[in-house]
Amino acid sequence: MPASNGKVDLKNLSFSDSVSYYFDKAAPFTGAPKGLLDQIKACNSVYQMRFPLKRDDGTIEVIEAYRVQHSQHKTPCKGGIRFSDEVNQDEVMALASLMTYKCAIVNVPFGGGKGGIKINPKKYSTYELEKITRRYTAELIKKNFIGPGTDVPAPDYGTGEREMAWILDTYTAMHPGEIDAAGLHEIEIQLDAVLAHAVDLDRRADRPHPAGKRQAVDRPRPRFQPAVGRTPRPGPPARHWAWLCL
């Protein structure tokens, strides 16, 4: 909100408002029409959900979660899913917006997305976390907020390979035969180049990677191995590989 002197008090802006503020500062330099810029800035879809969790001790807890698709100008949307008791709609919207801008800047063909579940994962058992993750995935499937050509999840703060495996398993169980990762190799090489460049820039600036991201860009990326006895087929359009790659 503008202060009494007409200037914006950045300290009192929410995360999402601060992203919009800097977008508005940069927008005039693009020369694009105002209506188009307004569309670029807005989050296209915001899904807020609540679902019950039966805990190990038999009690029922209501879980709050979000998924935001900022832009579908290129599909699929792409963005991590974070587990944190600080998750809220404003934060998820801001991070989804930033994901769109980051992908556009480095010319990665995705729209921005982000997801979050408002929990502290340290306070839940592995079985409880699995139930939360699978139910969250099922809720996204109901609204078509997840899929190889629609919206691709990825690890973020508080999540990792385990949660991605639960998501993938739940999705494949509800969409048997849909996922095809045969075109993974070519796109994975392109991602490796982008990520390696980002790591190199960070090292030059002497900036360590933040904890909680499992140093994903700092370690060798696993290569896709086709199932034994399966003959790899020509890959599908580039947008489909990301489901298994991220």
Find out whether 115 and 92 touch, Cβ atoms under 8 Å. Answer: yes
User: How many C-alpha atoms does 16 have within 13 Å on its Cβ side?
Assistant: 15
Provide CB contacts within 8 A for 50, sequence distance 6+: 62, 63, 64, 65
Find out whether 224 and 181 touch, Cβ atoms under 8 Å. Answer: yes
Q: In degrees rounded to 5, what are phi and psi of residue 39?
A: -70, -40
Closest of 92, 99, 98, 100 to residue 47, by C-alpha: 92
Q: Which residue has the tokens 């139930």?
A: 131
Q: Which candidate in 34, 41, 78, 114 is catalytic?
A: 114
Q: Which residue has the tokens 């670029």?
A: 40
Torsion of CA 183, 234, 144, 244, to 10 degrees: -30
Torsion of CA 89, 49, 159, 131, to 10 degrees: 160
Burial of 233 (0-12, 13-18, 19+ CB in 10 A): exposed
Annotated active-site residue 114? The verdict is: yes
Active site residues: 114
